[in-house]
Each structure stands twice: as C-alpha cells, then as structure tokens.
Amino acid sequence: MHSHCALYRLAIWTLLLIIGGSIPTAGTATAGEPIAYRLKWLINASTAGDVVARQQGFFERAGLEVEVKAGGPERDAIRELELGYAQFGVASADQVIRALAKGASVVVVAQLFQVNPLQWIYRAADFSLTKVEDLAGHTVGITYGGNDETIMRALLASAGMDAGQVKLASVRYDYTPFFQKQVAVWPVYRNTQGIFLADKLKAGGETVAFFDPSRYGVRFVANSVVTSRKMLDQHPETVLQFTRALLDGWQAAMDPANEEATITAVAEHDRDTADEVMRRQLAVTRQMIQPDPSIPIGHIDTAAWQQTETIMLNQKLIDKPVSVISRLHPQSGS
C-alpha cells in the first residue's frame, strides 16, 4: 500500500515538474502577457517619456501590453521585481547598488537621465558658486540618509574639504528655511522643484543659480530602467522590445515638436502643474535626458556607474564591491 502511494506521489511530482516548465514564473512575462512597469516617483515632467510610450502607442506597436504604474515614497521598484509584482521598473543607481549588496538579482537595461537632476539652488545676488571650495562658510541643506547627502560629501571630499568647513543642515519638504535665508544652498530636483522655487523668488525680485555636481566631477547616476536577471535570461526578446519602445517614447516626448502632446499626456496624471510651468520643466528635462545630441537617449554611462559604486564604498554605504558594471546590459540603441 505504501509503495503504491509513493509511486503515485512520484508520478504527480513528475507531471508537475513537466508542466511547470511551461508556466511563466512570477516576475517574468511572455509574449502577449501584461507587463507592469513601476516608476520611481509620481508622474510629472521627469516621467514624460514613460507616459508617452504608453499613451501614444509605442508599447502597443511593439506588441506589448504595458501598465505604467506611478511610484512614490512607499514604492520600491526593485522589490516589486523580486516579488513578481512588476517586470520592469525605474530605480536610481544607489538603489540598484544597495540592492545588489543585499543579494538582489537585478540588471540595468537603460539609463534615462544622463545628468542627475539633483542639484542645489541659491540666491545669485548673495554669492557665487563656481567651484566646490566656494561652499565654505555657507549653510548647505541635505537630507540625511538621502542621495543629496552622499553627493555633497563626495563633492567635499573631491575638493579636500571636510564637513566642518560648511554647515550641513537637515532639510525636509518645507522650504521655509530657504525662503528665510536660514539655509543658503538648498537641494532640489532641478527640473521640477527648481522651477517652482525659482518662480517664487522671482516673484519677490530675486534671481537664483544652481550648483550642479556633475560640473565638478561627481556624476552620481539617477533614474535608470531595471529588470530582473530572470526576465532578461528567460525573455530577452521581450526585454529588447520593451526597452526599444520605451526609449522611442522618450525620444518623442523630448522632441520640442511634440511638446503640446507631451504636456497633455503628463497633465492627465499631474493636474496640479500649470501647462506653462510644465513647458519649462520639460525644457530642463530635455537637457538632462539628452545633453549631447550625439549620444542616444537611454545610453548607459559606464564610468558614472563605476564612480557611483566607488562613492558608496568610500562612504561605507555598502560593505564590499558589487561589480555593478557586470549588471549593466544596454539593449540595442541604448
């Protein structure tokens, strides 16, 4: 009796293994199946290409059914890849590197921003920042534990300065300390918050300038497109088709000739931003997505990725190297 049961169970397990080989595993997708694409943040000018790729049919023409999901502070695209809730996502380089350090199996297929939009705003009439050393003596805002802290410390180290030569002040979403000049140099996303703050100060007769870390040698990689190693290995054609369609969408969104259509697409999700403000946000975003027309949108800047990992190692944000370069898998055209 027991031997018959054992044989029966063995037969069932064998059948399940055979059938299981043809069943898509969580986190991957085969041709014709819906694809979930989790963004890093809420939909605004910084995600224009993602929205255009979906709403203007770039994914559909590639034979893909894609749901573009807004991100936010409670969302983690890499975690969703691991759990099988999404097949593609957007993450910054530090998120990728931290995940790799924890054993995640994630790969990068395209880099959306060639210039990191995270910069610092200051009043141009009060002083000028033309080199890192000019920060000495000023109160500089940072978000402790955030990318801006990592970047600022890397900048200071590159100039042979220490944190004692500037006054680092913890900041949040309340801009009052900047408006009241308690913090002179304030971290912003240049293409969104930077526009908002510049408008506020302009209304009061003040002009602003921006301190861009990339101009002083610190190229900390921002938003990039990620997927799982399993997805890349099992469905390379889907990864290629998705990436091509997405980057075609970004190409269209960044074309000034398509500006009105792009604003309309983004405005369906971002109803709080006036069209004229979004127009200026897109103008700055273009400069960050494709600052050099000879370099295609989506290009992966290998040297910048290596520098980002080195910065994180130097600041002990990761315990050991993760060989992030080996996880960069640009698709054709990226």
Instruction: Report CA Rg, the chain.
Output: 23
Tell me the pLDDT tens digit for each residue of 221-269: 999 999 999 999 999 999 999 999 999 999 999 999 999 999 999 999 9
CATH class of 35-116+221-327: alpha beta
- Eight-class DSSP state of 89: E
Tell me the pLDDT tens digit for each residue of 113-138: 999 999 999 999 999 999 999 999 99
Structure tokens at 98: 């931290």
Tell me the pLDDT tens digit for each residue of 36-54: 999 999 999 999 999 999 9
Q: In 214-274, which residue ranges form alpha helices assigned H by DSSP?
A: 229-234, 236-254, 259-267
What is the structure's pLDDT at 8?
A: 42
Tell me the pLDDT tens digit for each residue of 10-35: 444 444 334 343 334 445 655 568 99
Same fold, 35-116+221-327 and 119-216: yes
What is the structure's pLDDT at 332?
A: 65
Number of residues that this document lists for the chain: 334
Q: Quick one: CATH architecture of 119-216?
A: 3-Layer(aba) Sandwich (3.40)
Residue 153 to residue 147: CA distance in whole angstroms: 10
Q: What is the DSSP string of 104-156?
A: --EEEEEES-SS-SEEEEEETTT---SSGGGGTTSEEEE-TTSHHHHHHHHHH
Domain boundaries, the chain: 35-116+221-327, 119-216
